[in-house]
Each structure stands twice: as C-alpha cells, then as structure tokens.
Structure 1
Amino acid sequence: MRNLTDGTPVDACALPGLYAYPAELARPWVRVNFVSSLDGAVSVDGLSGGLGSPADKRVFGTLRRLADVILVGAGTVRAENYRGARKPGFGRDAPPPIAVVTGSADLDPASPLFTDTAVAPIVLTTAAADPGRRAAITAAGGDVAVLDDLTPPTLLAELDRRGLRKVLCEGGPGLHGDLIAADAVDELCLTAAPLLVGGGAGRISHGPGGPPRAMRPVALLEDDGVLLLRYVRARDQE
C-alpha cells in the first residue's frame, strides 16, 4: 500500500493515524464506509464481498477498531449475515457494538448478530415495531432502544446519550442517503475496486434529494490497483 500524495509506503501500523477521528468530539462524528466498483456498483451478485481486497479488509478492520459503534441498516444486516465485530477497539477491551436501524424489528434472534458476538447489539427501533419481535430480540441478548422515530437526528442523539460519538456507518445505501439528506455525514471512506460490474447493482446511497455537499480528500492510498479514499466535509476543514 502506498500514499498517492507522495508515493511513500504505508503499512498497517500507520492506518490508525491516517484514519483517526477528530479529538475531543462534542457530538457524534459520522464516518461512512463503502466499497464500490469503478462503475459505481456496490455489490456483485447482491453482496459487497465480491468487491473486496486485502487492502480493503485492512482498512475495514482499522475503521471498526477506531469506532465507538458500528451503525448499519437492517437490510444490510440480513443480506450480509452480520455478526458482532471481533477485535477490541484501540485502547479498549471489547469490540464496538453493532447498532441496527430497523422500523420493523425484523431480525432473526438466532442469527450471528446475536449468537456470534462479544458485545450485545443495539437495536434502534420504534414503538410501532411488533412487540413480539422486540421481546424476542431482548430475550436473545439484544439491547433494544425504542425511539420516537428513526430519523438521523434521533438516531445520533441516542448514540450520543450512550457516549458513542465515533460512529462508523457501514450502510446500506438507504441509511447513507438518509444521513446525507439530514446533512449528517462528516466523512466518507470509499474503496474503489478496479472492476467494471455492469448489471443493475445499486449505488452507495439513495433516498431524498438535496443540495450537493462539498468534500475534501484527506487520505489517498493505492494498493495493487485498489484506491482507498478518505474524504471529509469541507466545512470540517475550515
């Protein structure tokens, strides 16, 4: 892996510094991480794994260990068969929890999300979700938070209440789109896989429209044709 700005090599030990969150956060900082093909596809045969690479996996693992919480939509949890994060966070004894956004609470209590994790997942839902499903999630060890709504301000306020300010969102595109529309995305980490996929695969965000948000690069890495890009909001560099 090398730094494209000056051509210097970058090893795994340098990644935590390159991707460090801002110090002394007064509010949740939302970092979104996606991998896509060169033509914008977010999946191959419905899964993101077909776009991955060793370099992408190293950055993916680093981002998880830097985060206080991993925020993800229920559709992505089901499609990718999510389980708990495995490695402890930097400077912590436990991995970050997975926080799942679901209006229906339609999660399988027997899935790896609950059975293969060292930290209880947080399930962010509302009172409109089926009470039986909510009870089953609680019985499986899930930490159910019943919120007034699932808009980004409400979700982030709940994470802030829990002291979880270093937020890593891993999708899906719908949740990412909602965060963009709410002007809540501080940072995007994008891996561009050197592939052309075609077909009908989706893009990394979809949802309500709005004005474009200016982003600025803060890290540009390359490894065997794979580009690993880190952008932050232009307002956060002023």
Structure 2
Amino acid sequence: MPGAVHPASTPRLPALRGPAPRRARTRRSALPERVRVVVVDDHPVFRSGLRAELDDTIEVVGEAHDVESAVTVVCGEAPGVVLLDVHLPGEGVPAGSTGGAEVMRRAAASVPGTRFLALSVSDKADDVVGVIRAGARGYITKGSSGQDVSRAIHAVAGGDAVFSPRLAGFVLDAFGAALGETAEASDELDRLSAREQEVMRLIARGYAYKEVAAELFISTKTVETHVSAVLRKLQLSNRHELTVWASKRRLL
C-alpha cells in the first residue's frame, strides 16, 4: 500500500551444522587364512591324532605313509605346507639320505609354491641339519602341542623358518661352519655346466647311469659323456671319489 512502511528484511543465516556423526567402524578380527596341508607319516594313529589337534585354520587335504605315496599326494594336491616325517620308508632312497629328504627332492620341482615342515620324533643334529639342507623350512619335534604345530604351519606358509628352541642351535652351528666351505664349493662348481652339475649330484647320490638318464630325459651315452667331463674338471678318478667330494661340500 502507498505510504505503508515495510519492516526491513532480516537476512537469513545459513543453518549451523554440527560435526557429522562418525560412522561406527566395523572391526574385523585378523583371522589367519586357511592353509592347505598334507600330513606325511608312516604311523596312521599319529596322523589321526595330529589331524584332530590342529586348529580350524588348517585344512588337511591329504595324507601319505611312505615316499612314493607322499610324492603322489603332494604333487596332486600342491598344498601350502607339507608336514613331513624325517625317517620315512620308501624305495630308492639313496644311502646317507632319509625318506623325508627324498620326498622333497622328488616333489619340489613339481610344486614350487609348497613349503616343507619337518615333524619328527628325532632331535639328532644330523637329522635336523640334513633335512634343512634338503629344503625344509623348519623342524619341530613330535612333542609339540597341536597349537604349536598350527602356529608353525602358518609361519612356514608365510615364508618364515621355524625350529623347536633347542634345535635352532644345531642349524646355526652347522650353517655357520659351512660358510667357509661355500666359497670353495662355488668356485669348483663354476667349472661345471648346469647339466653337468645335475648329473654330478645324481651320480654322487648313487644313481646308475640309466637312472640318471631317465631322471633327466637324456640318453645313457650323454650321461657317460657328462660324467667323464665332471671327473676331468674336478680332477677326480671315479664316482666313489666324486661321492666323497660332493659329501664333504654338502652338495648331496
């Protein structure tokens, strides 16, 4: 209306907002991933008892009782970890070796992602060091609890090395003493080609020429040629001297 006085418009202020309510964080328990395991031991009662003692994060996907069955199951299942008895029966185990070491030698190439954990009643230094040299990532005794074995399986699956406390000293002593011999052995091995080294190890372990040929998919004549070259380059006279040479340098 003319002459009407309108009140001044009050400016609108933006609404005040408090801090946004925090969203409740969902806390996930850090549960370890399941590990697929093969148990290798020649005593069925022990295998059954161990299986019952392992925790729920361990999935036993196979069992074996000797070298041959172990190689078959491990290569077929390709587990994350193999619980492996050291003194395992089997045919064709080279003198000076053990069944457990032979399983690793035969299966390792087929299952490169599988790790081996020795589980044995023996706590002898020779057994411990021998199986570690063969490729095991750890060694625990059968007196360990199911919880300890489960922890060791997860540790080995994750890439760690695991030993029962009193056995760790054997490994440290043995490999510490071997450091001085490693350089010498490496220099001598450099004289041999990769194929000659393969032949050398098999011959030194007691394999016959035909067995080496079958293992490496080459002819027996080629094996003979490689052996002659190995003996000449290492200045040795026969395969017995070769076995002694390789054994002293811990190449078997």
Query: Greater strand percent: which structure?
Result: 1
Structure 1 or 2, whichever has the larger Rg, is 2
Query: Same fold judged by TM-score > 0.5?
Result: no
TM-score (norm 2): 0.28
